Amino acid sequence: MQPLAPLEGNPKLNPKAGPGSSNAAAGAAQAGSNARRASHSSSGRPDPLSTITHASASRIGPGVIPTGLRITPHDDLTPEEKAKRLAAYAAVDEHVKPQHKVIGIGSGSTVPYVVERLCQPPHNNSNSDRWYIPTGFQSKELIVKAGLNLGDVDQFPTIDVTIDGADEVDDELNAIKGGGACQLREKVLAEAATHFIIVADSRKDSKVLGHTWKQGVPIEVAPFAWAKVFVNLQKMGCENPALRMGKMKAGPVVTDNGNFVIDGVFSESYMRDPAELLHRIKMLTGVLEVGLFVGMAEAAYFGYPDGTVLARWQDGRRQKVDATKGLEIAEQGKKV
């Protein structure tokens, strides 16, 4: 059996690689690192690169160079996807300012359009001095692919703006989240943010939670305690709680934190008081987080198939928002 071929450019693994090639590669890497440190040291913010290797998205994953985001021409999208894009664009344009240096990126089908807009003018002019914090694997991949600076809430426990999707939003901007099993990390980033903004298409806009999202409240639980929590939920009056099972996988869904998810359907009488329901579920031993986001959102943006975007604010204001900025790039299907 022949031995595996040594890795190119590593003198420890490839005897044929001369010291010159190794030194050149090391020098280039060090120069790039020093340049990045210099660009961030003047901002007065902590520099994670000084202590943490691979903090930059451009150095994570199998590829050294980010591939960028390919923008689908707007006319090629379905009406629902157009609505999501417009809601995301409007939220970014209204709430992400040049002075914002730490941005939380949520999860779900609308969030790719958030990152898409952040990579377009004028927002991309601030990206070299900005850090992006993901709520899960999906948003981390988006940040990496776009070549943005990847950070973590450990480094930046205070976030300027977090923009996230939702499964359903009621009249008071309370939301159900966790359809993608990211509710724990999503709530951490929502609480850490000075401004928490929701983006969704109009199908997620509801009077009372549970009217359109029929799958139930996502509840993240410690794996060894799921059966006990399951029984407790039944005693509370939960209708048919279900341990969420994986697709293309034998067994239950496992969150990014290594936990299980129980989806609990509650009657409208419970859902009309989401704060009380959240408190009761959260008090059950074994429950780590509940996908009820109560009183957290500052505003929510809903895109409609006719091209309009409705912004609803926590104080009850409603207004139509111009979401056409950036569409000239999207309509051309450019790469950003």
Q: Which active-site residues does the annotation give? A: 186
Tokens of 132: 């992006």
Q: Which amino acid is at 214?
A: K
What is the distance in angstroms between the CA of the first residue and the CA of the last residue of the chain? Answer: 46
Measured distance CA(61)–CA(25) in Å, rounded: 19
Measured distance CA(13)–CA(16) in Å, rounded: 9
- Contact assessment for residue 84 and residue 109, using Cβ atoms and an 8 Å cutoff: yes
Q: In what order do the strands lie in the sheet with 193-201?
A: 131-134, 102-105, 159-164, 193-201, 299-303, 309-313, 318-320
Per-residue exposure over 62-86, b if at least 16 CB sit within 10 Å of its own CB, e if not: eeeebeebebeebeeeeeebbbbbb
- Contact assessment for residue 46 and residue 155, using Cβ atoms and an 8 Å cutoff: yes
